[in-house]
Structure 1
Amino acid sequence: MNSIIPMRNAEIDYNELVQSDRAHTSLYKDEKIFDEEMEKIYYSTWVWVAHASEIPDAGSYKTINIGKQPVVAVRDRKKKVHVLLNRCRHRAATVCEHKKGKTNSFVCPYHGWSYALDGSLRGVPSPESYGECLDKSEFPLVSLRVEEYNGMIFATFKQDIEPLEDFLGAAKKWIDLFMKQGAGYPIKVLGEHRFRFPGNWKIQLENTTDAYHFPLVHKSFLSSVDEKTEELFNFENQPGYVEDLGNGHSVMVMIPELVDLEEDLMERPIQERFEDLAQALRDEGHEELEVRRIVRAVGGSGFNLNIFPNIACSMAFFRVMQPISVNETEIHHSVITMDGGPQIANQYRLRLHEHFQGPFGFGTPDDSEAWERVQHGANAGNDLWIMLNRGLPDEVKTEDGLKSDVSAETGMRAAYQQWKKMMTA
């Protein structure tokens, strides 16, 4: 196979950069490719911006980037969600610099232009200086199209693309399963931690549905848990699988018995590591069925769901990817709790999150080291390929897409085929 990047009229031939079983190394490090990804992917499809619990009340807001463009997700006085470009229409200063909060309006700190929660321009200082040449209705904050599915809020710059539910497709049923972690209570994002790694965003995109690395990269995590928990996380001995769900989405089922957290609650024994929690809940007066529902939810779902291009519902937390540059990515890990649920159960959830995902945890620091090594290694051998062919011989068609064993690279192939589709559209 020819490893030279084909060029046509000095343009990159994206069809040739992604094959059925591999992707070219230039996808990790070519600045022109990165810039075109922002335009053709991040500014051309549905991108996740928030969970509804992060902006629960009128005036609640959260800042985030879509691609490289800063936006504010905010709920107005009628409880409608808006996603607004974080840029004053006067001289381009950001109108909000806090990560989250609550406000009655957005006021530009440079010249004082003020905007309502729906983005409309409410007032400007000394309006008489404009005479008749300023029509406030012509200068609202730019508003994106917004849609929501089961608490997941997405936005897009495109007004004419398919509805969000069509874009999510077969991923919707997995989102519904993931939200059962509320154990009958509403899901609530209690907090997040952010970090950056020196690597391309697609390196992390691949990781969410990659079970192949788990027993090697996460040896320290496996050595930190009890024997039964270690056995539970021995995915290669479980009848799990990876499935392509269409539109670049994929799911990796690692622990099949924990796919539906409501299934066989009274029949299956409580895991040994949660027996103390179960007894504490009984002591608080919870009925046995509720105890089992809460304990099961605290342990998280038995799957990772990748929603192209920027959000993962990963066992027990949200992982958000924010591209910074071709060789730098910011990751947001958001811990999920039960809104109004028992305090002791939410504390258990936080400790489990810290144990693996936390900055001093046994999981994420090892992952980020591996991602950094991938980016560093990509600088060797410019004409080499990233191989994505594991599990290909046993891949079978399903009602939703394609499926192979739990350590297959089916999810990565799904993401890169969607990448190619959008980059060549």
Structure 2
Amino acid sequence: MSEADTYPESFHAEGNDLVAVPRFEEYRGFWFLNFDSGAISLEEFLGDAREYIDMVVDQAEEEMCVVDGVQEYSARANWKMLSENSTDVLHVETLHPTYLDLIRTNSGGTIVRGKLNGGGVSLGNGHSVVEREATYGRPVAQWISLWGEEAKAEIEQVYARLVSKFGAERAERMAKRSRNLLIFPNLVINDIMSVTVRTFQPISPDYMEVSVWSLAPKEEFGKPALERRLTNFFEFLGPGGFATPDDIEALESCQRAFASWREAPWNDLSKGFGAEKSHPTDELTQRSFWIEWEKWISRGSKP
């Protein structure tokens, strides 16, 4: 019996092709899928967040590429808490002191704890970013003594290229400042001691699964620069690094605490609310997420 004989006469294979998704759009190599044919354009959705994506992509002389492999882990916490955590500037000093002490050692004492030059910015549509002076070595392009003199010469060349192409002010910002960018609701681009892309999906109200990829300029592949970048990645953001286990413990502790919502039915994110001028430690970025989330819930729609 042929395969055709197993289908009824009314079946026509040519009319059963896969259906294209309504919206599949790209910005600077990042692809976004949307099942809502009536949604606004990707460019309009990203809005002011595009500047910070540009800041990441423009670091590469050729193009920014995904390094082979993906890190996958989970947390017994509601996924929205990781959206909060990803742009929270307050927790770094108290939650990751061991890493900050390591930075001081690796930099020969030139980089110390307690330095906060920057803060959070609301970018509209629920997006937000924390941009601050980088207090660690960055492959693009901030040298630390641990990397040696050969690496110093390489990084100085990278920095000179950025200055030549983008000017001194933008080059300084690209190389010496870091960014934690949240694209609403669950995409995070960390441009810190390495460049990573993080997404997280709710499996249940108190459980999420997280996927993380490392990005690197194409010209670094096969060179010591990529090894430095990946060491930075694993050391801080890896599942066994100095930061991620701390963050997961904090998220899961908060999830357990939220179980008392009947007795304490609030989550206070009012720090800096109503201030004429934003302070670096304000909770502006968390509020921007929840304001956008409330809009979607009030419409009876999903973002």
For this structure pair, what is the TM-score category when the shorter chain's length is used for normalisation? 0.7 to 0.9
- Per the TM alignment, residue 196 of structure 1 is displaced from its structure 2 partner at its CA by 0.4
Amino acid in structure 2 at the alignment position of 1:135: H
1:146 to 16, 24, 47: 24
1:167 paired with 2:45, answer yes
Relative to 1, partners in 2 of residues 1:419 and 1:371: Cα closer, same or farther, differing over 3 Å?
same
**Residues 335 and 353 of structure 1 are in contact (CA less than 8 Å); yes or no, is this contact kept in structure 2?**
yes
In the alignment, which residue of structure 1 is the partner of 2:245?
A: 365
- For 1:302, which of 146, 164, 178 is the aligned residue? 178
CA offsets 1:252-277 (integer angstroms, 9 cap, x no match): 1121799xx98xx8xxx844344445
- State which drifts further: 218-227 or 153-162: 218-227
Kindly report which structure 2 residues correspond to 1:117-196, keeping only aligned pairs within 5 A, or say none. Answer: 126-144=3-21, 145-182=23-60, 184-190=61-67, 191-196=69-74
Q: Against the structure 1 CA distance between its residues 298 and 249, is the aligned structure 2 distance closer, same or farther, given a 3 Å change threshold? A: closer
State the distance in 1 between where 2:97 and 2:265 align.
29
Once the two structures are TM-superposed, the CA of residue 347 in structure 1 deviates from its matched residue by: 0.7
- 2:232 aligned to 343, 348, 352, which one? 352
- Give the partner amino acid of 2:92: F
Describe the SS at the equivalent of 2:220. coil
Structure 1 pair 293–278 and aligned structure 2 pair: CA distance change class (3 A): farther
Q: Quote the Cα distance in structure 2 between the aligned partners of 1:361 and 1:257.
A: 17
Structure 1 residues 367, 169: CA separation in 2 closer, same or farther (over 3 Å shift)? same
Q: Which runs of 5+ in 1 are unaligned?
A: 1-124, 283-287, 397-403
Give, in angstroms, the shift of residue 189 of structure 1: 1.1
**Aligned equivalent of 1:328:** 207
Pairing partner for 1:412 from 286, 293, 298: 286
SS of structure 2 residue aligned to 1:238: coil
Distance 1:279 1:416, change over 3 A: closer
The aligned amino acid for 2:25 is: E
Between Structure 1 and Structure 2, the one with more helix by share is 2
Report Cα offsets for 1:347-369 as digits up to 9, x if no partner: 10000001001122111110111
Residues 170 and 246 in structure 1, CA contact (< 8 A), matched pair in contact too: yes
Aligned-residue CA RMSD (Å): 3.1
> SS in structure 2 opposite 1:405?
coil
1:218-268 Cα offsets, whole Å, 9 max, x none, are 01211222255887574x64331211110000011121799xx98xx8xxx
Whole-angstrom CA distance in 1 between matches of 2:84 and 2:29 = 25
Please say if residues 159 and 175 of structure 2, whose CA atoms lie closer than 8 Å, have aligned partners that are also in contact. Answer: no
SS in 1 for 2:267: strand
Which residue in 2 is equivalent to 1:10?
Answer: none
Q: Which amino acid aligns with 2:95?
A: V
Does the C-alpha gap of structure 1 residues 168 and 140 become closer, same or farther in structure 2, counting only changes over 3 Å?
same
Counterpart of 1:401?
Answer: none
Aligned equivalents of 1:355, 1:297: Cα separation in 2? 24
Q: Aligned pair in 2 of structure 1 residues 271, 390: CA closer, same or farther (>3 Å)? A: same
Q: Tell me the equivalent position of 1:198.
A: 76
Alignment partners' CA distance in 1, 2:124 and 2:109 = 32
Larger Rg: 1
**Which residue identity lines up with residue 123 of structure 2 in the other structure?**
L
Q: How many residues align?
A: 280
> Does the C-alpha gap of structure 1 residues 230 and 420 become closer, same or farther in structure 2, counting only changes over 3 Å?
farther
C-alpha contact (below 8 Å) 2:89/2:120 kept by paired residues: no
Identical pairs, percent: 29
Stretches of 4+ aligned residues off by more than 4 angstroms: 227-234, 291-294, 296-301
2:165 is matched with which residue? none
CA offsets per residue over residues 48-75 of structure 1, 9 Å max, x none?
xxxxxxxxxxxxxxxxxxxxxxxxxxxx
Aligned residue runs from structure 1 range 21-420, under 5 A: 126-144=3-21, 145-182=23-60, 184-190=61-67, 191-226=69-104, 228=107, 232=111, 234=113, 237-255=115-133, 270-279=143-152, 281=154, 289-290=157-158, 302-315=178-191, 316-341=195-220, 343-382=223-262, 383-394=264-275, 396=277, 404-420=278-294
Instruction: Tell me the distance in 1 between the aligned counterparts of 2:298 and 2:131.
Output: 31
Return the TM-score normalized by structure 1. 0.60
CA distance in 1, matches of 2:204, 2:109: 37
Deviation of 1:301 after TM superposition, in Å, equals 5.3
State whether residues 103 and 112 of structure 2, in contact with CA within 8 Å, keep that contact through their aligned partners in structure 1.
Answer: no
